Chain A
Amino acid sequence: MTPFVRHAGRVAALPRVNVDTDQIVPKQFLKRIERTGFAPVLFHDWRYGADGSPDPTFELNQPAAAGASILLAGANFGCGSSREHAVWALREYGFRAVIAESFADIFYANCCQNGLLAVRLVTGETRELFARHTRAAGRYDVVVDLEAQTVVDDAGFRAAFSIAPYHREMLLSGLDEIGRTLLEDAHIAAYERDRDEGRGKGEGW
């Protein structure tokens, strides 16, 4: 996994709440058996009209959003389906971080697995970011710093965010979580011996 330490980039704003993973990658594109090939279909049904041409009113199709690598969105981003394809698509499209007031649980976990930093800010802070993005006509850049746990711009905006220490370490180091867990093999094997003999700490349930 690509580590995330600090990233400076263009902000794309998607001022909608409850963006579900069906919107991020619609179901008709989930038939691939690879982890790649999802960038072209990110936000497909919003991004393209029924005839397949780009919808100029969609936020990511604005000229100022070209090359954006930080997505600013409304609360409860990533709700619904567990599809990790949503995170693969965001990463492949070029996003390194998503900033929102809140994220759905499974989506958040999927972000941590793929080096996509999900930054939780409070309502006032996201509102301020949306306002600054609008004032800059979409040509708005910020720096997301995971070591410092801050989001800053060059015009005085500064917000601190919290993240579980485990997730922070995982992202900073680009941890191979499976490799990490396999180091616990002795513990797993001991648990399994008890479990399989019906004398686990769960009294067998």
Chain B
Amino acid sequence: MTPRTLFAKIWDAHVVHPLPDGPELLYVDLHLVHEVTSPQAFEGLRLAGRRVRRPELTVATADHNVPTGDRALPIADALAARQVGALATNAREFGIELFDLASPHQGIVHVIGPELGLTQPGMVIVCGDSHTSTHGAFGALAFGIGTSEVEHVLATQCLVVMRPKTMEVRFEGAAASGVTAKDLILALIGRIGTAGATGHVIEYTGEAIRRLSMEGRMTVCNMSIEAGARAGMIAPDDTTFTYLAGRPRAPEGERLTRAVARWRRLKSDDGATYDTRVTVDAASVAPQVTWGTNPGMVADITARVPDPAGFASAGERQAVERALAYMDLRPGTPLEGLPIDRVFLGSCTNARIEDLRSAAGVVRGRRVAAGVRALVVPGSQQVKAQAEAEGLDRVFREAGFEWRNSGCSMCLGMNPDILASGERCAATSNRNFEGRQGRGGRTHLMSPAMAAAAGIAGHLVDIRTWA
């Protein structure tokens, strides 16, 4: 048999039927739904008199627009309240399980899927959210879709998709101390660009990936979309199976044993070929921090703000000039030492328990710098409860951080958590686009430990030399 990639094995197993003119009808095992990209899809079903084909393969939560303050209070923003209300109505009407704001399992959709054990190897998983690529960390094919496609999946449990190309990204060697999953993925995006993997599904391989925990792998796969990839994935191994065992929705006992035996075959065969291959020397990756207005505008923390004149094309030069003007940065300024106003520890990229432990380790016994406002937003209510059981909330609070309920929060600022114009933020999230965290807000993406340290120091620091 021809050697196949991990991607091909999952894809081939989900083709319901080839369609004329090239695309294939692909079956979806798990459809995750949230309040922002689904109301128009449910309305479409209603108008056409259609039902949800497999409500039991569909799971909903409210995360994007929800306030992260006191959960006992009603949502003050009337439009946000209406959107969250619509999700509840739709879930009830169409028979879909919903983890609402009162649920102990509520959280960012890409945090709760894995946490509940809903996300499993070999699945096709979709959600009306580009960061659905996160779930690929389990050896699933997971990708974001638009609202029309959400409606399509609700109605048919299938999607019409063109087979994407494949790209292997191999991280060779082990990452150095202080260098995290976030740094690996940012370094990759810096190298191949925000459109570097357009049209491709990335499979991450190599020693540095194998050494990552499931949470680290999720961070890497999460930002695949930031390199333009359709999805990112990592072959499951014992790290994956150990993570899954005992999760509420994961198989148990004999069923788990049988599942693991199947899942072990979910890896690219020797000799399988990819359309594109990229190799990164993980040992040479330094802590990364973005300086511009897309995740590809990134550099080592030891670097300086680049000079637009150093870029090859006129388009790039113009984009860099525009980015530096927006970010209020001058070429040649060292990134280390750049003063910040805010810290955001959160998002589907970096708000899991290991992220919070890593950040708490940095802030323990210290105080947030004068004039800096720092926010910790756990990725889910389960992460929050776990952190509280470990006393991390106290560590953060005593250091002057605000301790919040879970949600997307300041990652996209479509809730009360936003930057004021001109504020500079050390953020653990995934996008530094203009206005993403609030109009005029300036975002620098980095790892949780780096963001936490920046909050204490009051400026960007190199976590390897900072004490």
User: A35 at interface (Cβ–Cβ under 8 A)?
Assistant: yes
User: A105 at interface (Cβ–Cβ under 8 A)?
Assistant: yes
Report how far A114 CA is from B173 CA in the complex, Å. 46
User: A22 at interface (Cβ–Cβ under 8 A)?
Assistant: yes
- Inter-chain contact A184/B319, CB cutoff 8 Å: no
- Inter-chain contact B130/A81, CB cutoff 8 Å: yes
* A100-123 contacts to B (CB < 8 Å): 102, 104-106, 109-110, 113-114
* B41-55 contacts to A (CB < 8 Å): 43, 48, 50, 53-54
A201 with B12, Cβ < 8 A, contacts A45-B434, A184-B25 known: yes
- Inter-chain contact A205/B21, CB cutoff 8 Å: no
User: B152 at interface (Cβ–Cβ under 8 A)?
Assistant: yes
- Inter-chain contact A178/B414, CB cutoff 8 Å: no
* A16-55 contacts to B (CB < 8 Å): 16-18, 20, 22-23, 26-28, 30-35, 45, 50
Task: Tell me the count of chain A residues lying within 8 A, CB to CB, of chain B.
Answer: 58
**Interface-facing stretch out of A60-68, A91-99, A146-154, A164-172:** A164-172
- Inter-chain contact A18/B16, CB cutoff 8 Å: no
- Inter-chain contact A22/B315, CB cutoff 8 Å: no
User: B205 at interface (Cβ–Cβ under 8 A)?
Assistant: no
Among A22, A31, A35, A191, point to the contact of B27 (Cβ < 8 A).
Answer: A191
A22 with B435, Cβ < 8 A, contacts A181-B25, A191-B27 known: yes
Q: Within the complex, what minimum Cβ distance (angstroms) separates B131 from chain A?
A: 9
Residues of B within 8 A of A197 (CB): none
Among B54, B129, B315, B318, point to the contact of A82 (Cβ < 8 A).
Answer: B129
- Inter-chain contact A16/B122, CB cutoff 8 Å: no
Task: Tell me the count of chain B residues lying within 8 A, CB to CB, of chain A.
Answer: 83
- Inter-chain contact A202/B146, CB cutoff 8 Å: no
**Interface-facing stretch out of A6-14, A72-80, A134-142:** A72-80
Additional A-B contact list (20), CB under 8 Å, known A33-B39, A164-B21: A15-B315, A18-B294, A20-B433, A22-B431, A31-B77, A32-B79, A33-B86, A79-B195, A80-B433, A83-B146, A104-B198, A105-B199, A105-B228, A109-B145, A109-B146, A114-B148, A166-B22, A178-B156, A184-B158, A205-B265
12 A-B residue pairs with CB within 8 Å? A16-B318, A18-B194, A30-B65, A31-B82, A50-B439, A74-B315, A76-B228, A81-B431, A84-B40, A110-B148, A188-B158, A202-B12
The 9 A-B pairs of least Cβ separation, nearest first, read A202-B13, A205-B122, A33-B39, A113-B148, A84-B146, A110-B146, A31-B79, A166-B21, A27-B414
